[in-house]
């Protein structure tokens, strides 16, 4: 635990440096806030410094090194400092603002340590999307310039929104720590940023520390009212039954499965930050949270900095693709009701934001092909089936899924009721500008949750066709709803009858982390440490030693290992070394490449490399993919039952034997 603490200090020191460099610019963006936006400075720094490093690498101006990162930090600080001087921003008073900043930095540090301690009770980088996210980050770390190579489909670059992964790699490189530690530390960082930034928003809105803490809790830790099933006999698997038909019992508290709150409506996903921080995937929607909260905070200001907001929309697009259009759309609505009187000025502001957003994301977009094939209509009329009208796709009539209202009520009812009661309460008085903005957030969030009932973004999934749409839109709705509800409940606190009505609903959303943390982290009883590869060392010791050897090799080119299904232990070598393999998780690559037809031949080629008795054919395949290393370990022996291993000593030589795991190097 002590060593983890010092590792955490080292990681935090880099974050502090990034935030300090960004604070001059942050002061300009949030000059009217109680703390001049200090709690947003790290997010500003990660966005700007990450983008500079990214552009330097894309344009081959400077390689991805610590020196380049320090240069980007210096550029940001100098830019903010000079801009402050040019705009004659008043100096910070020694008190009380510096005291506030010191307290806030301690607040962030404690939040960072708290979730690092929680995460250390189950630190395994394994399961769900962790292999993918880790592999992206390791591939970026291995890169001198960008775009980084897709470790599961060389020589092509990553076709995914990976800016958040690049930011993680950047802080990893700057801290000189191994990714097997920083992967988990980044999760703790996002938790700390989410909690402190939402606190700052709540504190600014309610003018109360208690209001800030309450808002932070709702955004970061709260769940939905599906937890009512914890007080019933429950259900198993996908056999969802109405809670009122299951019988009431307190025994359900011991059997309630927290993940059901995110897979409640059949064939859909409706996650939220609290779940993300528990299951620990450092995925695009999680990495985007600080930038999302930064965008929300900018919108809550009386005067929106259009240039920086446009930049932020570009960053959001590169981090979690749909977040860009979502928060640009919200910006358009806010701009429409802003205090700017002249329509010309509004159109000018809109144009500036669009141009800056496109300029920001252009280096990414030139190498990115969207895996969304259009906007499809949910439950299309039969006479329009398999047609297209403008941007709308009408698929078969079987593409029809509707969410039962009672299910939607359990997911979103707390927000509907708290926001609705608050809007009903303030109708009797003149709205403030902030209240208008929060009403926009409320109704915009409702629109995000309703959209998947009528439309979905078409991807490759046949039965879960609206799953990703509901997931991405609902995630942002949850964050916006939480901020509105935090303000609403604080405003209604003295209305006793209203609060009595809200208490049962608030109780249900508040108990979610009790179930999720207890389940995933084993009741916080066994501290394992923040190191994330202990499971690999324990369960695959031979592979682990071979992976460590490979990481020390220079210019390793491509390796070949057994390919396997998504969410399995296959691709462990390419994932944990960042060295590309011929083909990785098939469904993931199918999604990213738009067709299984380009993935399937590679899978067959991998099989032939291991099982073909024809030396010439094997040699040609190895040459075709520029393979340098062949892995023969436990998973390869299990999958390729007709393995012809002797030929590898003819085509190359054995360079490492670690128990049952052997690495062969091909002669060229």
Residue 298 tokens, joined? 């900018």
**pLDDT-derived band at 592, boundaries 50, 70, 90:** very high
In 182-264, at which residue ranges do the beta strands (DSSP E only) sit? none
The whole-number pLDDT of residue 91 equals 67
d(CA 595, CA 600): 9
Tell me the average pLDDT of the chain: 94
Higher pLDDT among residues 92 and 38, named by residue: 38
255 membership: H or E segment, kind and range: helix 252-255
- Residue-wise pLDDT tens digits, 316-357: 999 999 999 999 999 999 998 877 667 888 889 999 999 999
Q: Are 71 and 21 in contact (CB under 8 A)?
A: no
What's the mean pLDDT in 48-54? 98
d(CA 543, CA 521): 26
Taking each continuous run of H as one helix and of E as one strand, the counts in the chain are: 28, 8
Q: Are 328 and 313 in contact (CB under 8 A)?
A: yes
**Which residue's entry shows tokens 């947003």?**
40
What's the mean pLDDT in 34-57? 97
Give the rounded distance of the alpha carbon of 522 from its chain centre. 24
Q: Quick check: 18 pLDDT over 80?
A: yes
The whole-number pLDDT of residue 96 equals 65
d(CA 429, CA 22): 40
Q: Quick check: 302 pLDDT over 90?
A: no
Residue 117 has a CB neighbour count (10 Å cut-off) of 18
The whole-number pLDDT of residue 92 equals 66
- Residue-wise pLDDT tens digits, 66-107: 999 999 999 999 999 999 888 877 666 665 688 899 999 999
What's the mean pLDDT in 564-588? 95
The whole-number pLDDT of residue 488 equals 96
The whole-number pLDDT of residue 543 equals 97
Q: Which pairing describes strands 375-377 and 392-394: parallel, antiparallel, or unpaired?
A: parallel
What's the mean pLDDT in 612-619? 95
User: Picking from 17-21, 109-113, 218-222, 248-252, which range would have the lowest pLDDT averaged per residue?
Assistant: 248-252
The whole-number pLDDT of residue 344 equals 86
d(CA 481, CA 491): 15
Q: Quick check: 379 pLDDT over 60?
A: yes
The whole-number pLDDT of residue 496 equals 84
**Which residue's entry shows tokens 């309460």?**
425
To the question of pTM greater than 0.75 for the whole model, the response is yes
**pLDDT-derived band at 472, boundaries 50, 70, 90:** very high
Give the rounded distance of the alpha carbon of 646 from its chain centre. 44
The whole-number pLDDT of residue 431 equals 83
What's the mean pLDDT in 479-483? 98
The whole-number pLDDT of residue 404 equals 96
- Residue-wise pLDDT tens digits, 508-521: 999 999 999 999 99
The whole-number pLDDT of residue 20 equals 97
d(CA 306, CA 230): 46
- Residue-wise pLDDT tens digits, 126-140: 999 999 999 999 999
What's the mean pLDDT in 626-655? 95
The whole-number pLDDT of residue 95 equals 57
What's the mean pLDDT in 562-577? 95
- Residue-wise pLDDT tens digits, 219-255: 999 999 999 999 999 888 778 999 999 989 998 899 9
């Amino acid at each position: 635990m002590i060593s983890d603490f010092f590792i955490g200090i080292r990681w935090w020191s880099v974050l502090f440096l990034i935030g300090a460099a960004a604070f001059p610019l942050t002061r300009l963006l949030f000059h009217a806030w109680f703390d001049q936006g200090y709690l947003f400075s790290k997010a500003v720094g990660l966005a700007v410094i990450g983008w500079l490093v990214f552009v330097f690498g894309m344009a081959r101006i400077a390689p991805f090194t610590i020196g380049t990162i320090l240069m980007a930090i210096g550029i940001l600080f100098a830019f903010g400092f000079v801009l402050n001087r040019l705009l004659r921003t008043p100096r910070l008073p020694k008190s009380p603002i510096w005291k506030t900043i010191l307290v806030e930095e301690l607040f962030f540090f404690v939040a960072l340590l708290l979730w690092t301690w929680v995460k250390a009770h189950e630190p395994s980088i394994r399961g769900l999307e962790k292999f993918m996210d880790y592999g992206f980050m390791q591939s970026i770390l291995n890169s001198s310039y960008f775009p980084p190579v897709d470790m599961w489909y060389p020589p092509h670059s990553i076709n995914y929104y990976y800016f958040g992964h690049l930011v993680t790699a950047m802080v990893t490189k700057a801290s000189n720590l191994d990714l097997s530690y920083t992967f988990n530390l980044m999760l703790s960082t996002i938790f700390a940023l989410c909690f402190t930034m939402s606190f700052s928003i709540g504190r600014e809105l309610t003018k109360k520390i208690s209001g800030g803490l309450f808002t932070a809790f709702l955004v970061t830790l709260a769940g939905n009212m599906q937890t009512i099933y914890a007080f019933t006999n429950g259900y198993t698997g996908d056999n969802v039954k109405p809670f009122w038909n299951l019988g009431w019992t307190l025994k359900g508290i011991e059997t309630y499965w927290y993940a059901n709150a995110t897979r409640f409506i059949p064939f859909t996903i409706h996650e939220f930050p609290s779940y993300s921080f528990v299951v620990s995937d450092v995925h695009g929607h999680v990495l985007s949270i600080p930038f999302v909260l930064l965008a929300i905070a900018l919108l809550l200001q009386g005067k929106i900095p259009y240039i920086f907001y446009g930049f932020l929309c570009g960053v959001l697009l590169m981090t979690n693709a749909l977040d860009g259009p979502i928060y640009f759309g919200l910006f358009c609505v806010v701009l429409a009701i802003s205090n700017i009187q002249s329509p010309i000025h509004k159109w000018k502001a809109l144009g500036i934001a669009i141009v800056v957003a496109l300029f920001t994301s252009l280096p990414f977009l030139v190498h990115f092909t969207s895996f969304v094939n259009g906007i499809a209509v949910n439950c299309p009329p039969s006479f329009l089936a398999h047609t297209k009208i403008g941007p709308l796709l009408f698929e078969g009539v079987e593409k029809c899924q509707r969410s039962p209202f009672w299910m939607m009520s359990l997911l979103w009812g707390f927000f509907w009721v708290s926001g609705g009661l608050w809007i009903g309460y303030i109708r009797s008085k003149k709205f403030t500008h902030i209240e208008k903005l929060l009403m926009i957030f409320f109704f915009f969030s409702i629109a995000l949750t309703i959209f998947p009932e009528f439309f979905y973004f078409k991807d490759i999934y046949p039965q879960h066709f609206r799953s990703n749409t509901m997931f991405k839109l609902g995630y942002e709705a949850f964050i916006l709803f939480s901020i509105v509800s935090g303000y609403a409940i604080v405003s209604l606190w003295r209305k006793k009858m209203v609060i009595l009505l809200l208490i049962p609903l608030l109780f249900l959303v508040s108990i979610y982390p009790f179930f999720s943390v207890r389940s995933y982290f084993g009741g916080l009883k066994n501290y394992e440490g923040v190191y994330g590869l202990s499971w690999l060392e324990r369960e695959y010791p031979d592979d682990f030693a071979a992976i460590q050897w490979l990481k020390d090799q220079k210019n390793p080119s491509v390796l070949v290992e057994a390919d396997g299904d998504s969410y399995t232990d296959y691709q462990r070598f390419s994932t944990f070394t960042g060295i590309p393999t011929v083909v990785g998780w098939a469904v993931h690559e199918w999604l990213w490449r738009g067709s299984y037809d380009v993935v399937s031949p590679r899978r067959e080629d991998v099989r032939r490399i291991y099982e073909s008795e024809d030396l010439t054919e094997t040699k040609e395949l190895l040459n075709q993919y520029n393979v340098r290393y062949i892995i023969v370990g436990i998973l390869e022996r299990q999958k390729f039952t007709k393995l012809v291993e002797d030929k590898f000593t003819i085509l190359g030589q054995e360079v490492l034997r670690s128990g049952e795991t052997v690495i062969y190097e091909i002669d060229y």
